[in-house]
Amino acid sequence: MTFTPLTLSSLKTIKNTVIGNPSAKVQLAQDQVFIQNLVQCLNDPPPADPRGEDIRIEAAHVIASVSYGSEVVLGTLLRCDAPRAFLYAISKFNDHDTSSFRSAFARGFRALAIAIADTVGPSQWGLREERTTIKDEAEAALDFLFQIESLDVYLPLLVDPSPQTRTSIAQLLAFAIRNEEHRIAASTWLPPEDRLKEVKTKRGWEKTIASATAPNRQGGWVCRNLAAQIHSNNVQVQEAALWGLATIAKDNATVAVALAKSSESDGQSLLQYALTLAKSRSTGTQLAACQCATSIIRATTAGTHPHPHNPVVSPTDDTNTRTIMNVINRIVSSPNESLPNRTKACFILYYLVTDHPALAFSAFDRGCLAKLAAVLRDITPLAPRAEWEEEEPDSIAALREAALTAVAALSLFDNTIRRAVTDDLRLLPPIHNALAHSRVGVRYAACQCVRALSRAVAVLRTNIVDSGLGMAVFQIFKKDEEKKEEDRRVTAAALAAVCNIVNEFSPLRPIYLDLGLMPRLVKVLGGGDPTLRLSALWAVKNLLSKTSGETKRDVMQCLGWGRLAELLEDADGAVQEQAFHLVRNLAENEAGIEMIFRELGASELLRHLTAALAAEDGDVVLQATYVLANLSNGAAAYQTHLITTGPLLAALRHALAERGPHVRRPAVSAVLELARASTAARRALVEAGVASTLRQMCSTSSSSVGYHSPVSAVFPPRELGGGSVGSRATPMDDDKDVIESAKTALDWLEHGEAYRAS
């Protein structure tokens, strides 16, 4: 290949041309020979030019400038193997290199790594357009950057003398780590010499290293050195270290516990110091500190999340989270803050409260929802005008997406909060407008708001219908069918909302069906997206709950009984669970039971049911047991099919003996109904060992009077949960009414009709 000569002046001209100029970046990327030359310059500048180091620095600057914003440019850089070229150059650093040389390469490498991570996802600050054409290449490149051989090259730069170099590497960790595997790789990394010490220790060649000097102390080498830098007087170094710690600690209890632990030197934990920095004068530092504290708090409480019906936050966590909320409220509501900072503040609030009912209500109590509502009202036109969103600057659209995302997270669990959204704060018009926005992330966030609000029966019956939100989100779900392209993530969010809206108490259920909901769901079920398939099946399941026989027949005619049979043995356990729940809803009355036996056939139905009762997936077992309990209420002919299927009764006995209390509840119900049915049924159950299993349950329960399961005392049984699989549950875990039903069933099995007479 003939390489185009590059000079220092030409590189500087190119750099100035492409900064802030996307079209120039794309045009540049189309010249693959030039890009190849540019990448080669990182290690082999033109030999005739005496300013070789300056050319290498400028080449790194150009790559840093062109990495962002263009799929075409990034694809070209990946094909030219730019990540490997950067790593090779960094591996050759020596003591004679200038700080500007080292920092230029660290900055260029950081920019390239973050651009790759943004392509792979998930996005940190809102949804980005998916780059499907280079995603596979980007995933391979990102995995390469977090292999131990690569980490050995660039992580030592965290202790580089140059603050600019340290900042770039901390930022790389902060914004290029997007999954657990890479997070663990970075947090557990040790310098080669420390790894050698650990190997010797494990082999017994040396005495155990004292904890005070252990290589993995204080969260590990990376966390220890990032933590040291948050005490820096350099604000950029401090912020980068905080962001880096936030990412390393996210969902990482091992690291988070170490960061929450008070130090022996001053008695202050890194968490407490981060909360102190959250009150600093720099907004950037405040945001980084809040995100750092959020990651630590959420990771250290991950194993003790309160149940939605029993929300509890410890006093310490309450104090810490309120500090974060106060800072976030000030930034979000301040017109003097930059829009990007306000956007980040909204997302930090989302990360703090997401999937945590108690923290969501605490944030509501602190006025966070009111602040978000004010932002949305301020940036939303009073009267919708045609295509107003196309004129909206990206910075405002990003803030809109962030605020809606936080609103959705706050609204997910509590009806009081939902009512505040719909009535007190009048947020339905901004949400409705956002459903038609040109930005993918805004539409996605608006769909998530509809999903959260539609969980409330009262809101679903009134506000969702009256405001037009229900029909608007349905049209988004139907877009692909109408030959209009929609981002698959938006479609998934819209479908999640539809799943709630088609519940039995919704006035929109029959309207959706009349407008072609079922054919669209069947099409999605036949597609290849696992998330969409599962949600589509969930929607069909909800459609069949508490509905008329005519609707059941119409829905199943569209779905197809053959397709249902395939779903009952799907390789995905979550799909199986929903398929059995669908059958459970069909079997909620005698007409439904008759339909199931007629259309599936007794032998195929009971084969699927027997296999599911013996499954490893506890949620599949739970739903299959509920199906059996419902079928046990059927006519005598169908009960006969159940009691004459030996493997099914054996699986039922195993569920009673080995599964958790959630499974035993429907299992006992099934036994009781069958025991009442006939002498033949009682005989079959006794011969299958069901009576002896019930007897053991009841006798153990009687000897455990006065004791209560710590699980059942704190977490009430949930309908869609699953008992633990692989461990034997004890009868005292069962609710009192389950034990009473078990005793009644046992009396029927032992005494038959004589028990009825007594």
User: Which tens digit of pLDDT belongs to each residue from 304-344?
Assistant: 444 444 456 677 778 999 999 999 999 999 999 999 999 99
**Contact (Cβ atoms closer than 8 angstroms) between residue 499 and residue 537:** no
Average pLDDT over residues 354-377: 96
Q: What is the C-alpha separation between 732 and 624, in angstroms, rounded?
A: 23
Residue 71: its pLDDT value, please? 83
Structure tokens, 458: 């009262």
Is residue 134 in a domain?
yes
The CA dihedral of 435, 400, 242, 104, to the nearest 10 degrees, is: 90
* Whole-number pLDDT of residue 574: 96
Cis, peptide link before residue 122, omega less than 30° from 0: yes
Token pair of 355 as six digits: 């999937």
Question: Which residue among 278, 303, 328 closes a domain?
Answer: 303
Are residues 193 and 271 part of one domain?
A: yes
Cβ pair 678, 635 in contact under 8 A:
no
Confidence of residue 479 (pLDDT cuts 50, 70, 90): confident
Which has the higher per-residue pLDDT, 447 or 757? 447
In this structure, are 491 and 533 located in the same domain? Answer: yes
The tokens of 378 are what? 């301020």
Predicted confidence band at 398 (pLDDT cuts at 50, 70, 90)?
A: very high
* pLDDT value of residue 31: 78
Decide if pLDDT at 441 tops 80: yes
Lowest-pLDDT choice from 4-13, 346-355, 712-721: 712-721
Look up the CATH number of the domain holding residue 748: 1.25.10.10
Domain that holds residue 408: 305-436
State the average pLDDT over residues 103-128: 95
**Higher per-residue pLDDT: 688 or 130:** 688
- Residues 166-188, mean pLDDT to the nearest whole number: 97
This prediction's pTM? 0.88
The 10s digit of each residue's pLDDT in 637-683 is 999 999 999 999 999 999 999 998 899 999 999 999 999 999 999 99
Q: With a cut of 90, say whether residue 387 has pLDDT above it.
A: no
The first and second tokens of residue 81, run together, are: 């193997």
For residue 254, give both structure tokens: 């091992």
pLDDT score at 200:
60
Does residue 476 sit in the same domain as residue 422?
no
User: What percentage of the chain reaches a pLDDT higher than 90?
Assistant: 71
In a domain, 713, yes or no: yes
**pLDDT for residue 589:** 95
The answer to whether residues 78 and 169 belong to one domain is: no
Amino acid 707: pLDDT: 34
Two structure tokens written together for 401: 């997406």
Which of these, 609, 600, 732, 758, lies nearest to 660 by C-alpha position?
732
587 and 723 belong to one structural domain: no
Indicate whether 713 pLDDT > 50: no
CA dihedral over 226, 231, 234, 238, signed as positive or negative? positive
- Indicate whether 606 and 753 sit together in one domain: yes
Q: What is the pLDDT of residues 496-529, one digit of tens each?
A: 999 999 998 899 999 999 999 999 999 999 988 9
* Angle, vertex CA 383, rays to CA 378 and CA 385, nearest 5: 110
Both 77 and 170 in one domain: the answer is no
Q: What digits encode the pLDDT tens for the residues 183-208?
A: 999 999 999 988 887 666 555 545 44
Task: Tell whether 377 and 488 lie within a shared domain.
Answer: no
Q: What is the dihedral of CA 156, 162, 163, 166, to 10 degrees?
A: -20
Q: What is the pLDDT, as a whole number, of residue 705? A: 43
Closest CA to 280 of 327, 318, 228, 244: 327
Structure tokens given for 536 = 């589509």
Phi/psi region, residue 638 (left: phi>0; alpha: psi -120 to 50; beta: rest), is alpha
pLDDT higher for 333 or 52? Answer: 333
Structural domain contains residue 261? yes
**DSSP conformation class of 594:** H
Helical pair 661-677 and 636-643, crossing angle rounded to 10 deg = 120
Cβ-based neighbour number of residue 391 at 10 Å:
9
- Inform me whether the pLDDT recorded for 43 exceeds 80: yes
Q: Any idea which of 34-38, 162-166, 271-275, 307-311 has the lowest mean pLDDT? A: 307-311
**Per-residue pLDDT at 721:** 33
**Summary mean pLDDT of the chain:** 88
The structural domain count of the chain equals 5
**Residue 403 to residue 95: CA distance in whole angstroms:** 48
pLDDT, residue 208, reads: 46
Q: What is the pLDDT of residue 711?
A: 29
Q: Whose CA is closest to 604, among 641, 639, 635?
A: 641
Q: Hey, what's the torsion of the CAs at 42, 47, 53, 57, to 10 degrees? A: -40
The DSSP symbol for 419 reads H
pLDDT score recorded for residue 701: 64
pLDDT at 314: 72
Same domain for 290 and 310? no
User: pLDDT value at position 482?
Assistant: 61
Residue 30 pLDDT class (50, 70, 90 cuts): confident
Q: Same domain, yes or no, for 278 and 391?
A: no
Q: How far apart are CA 228 and CA 224, in angstroms?
A: 6
Backbone phi and psi for residue 260, each to the nearest 5 degrees, phi listed first:
-90, -10
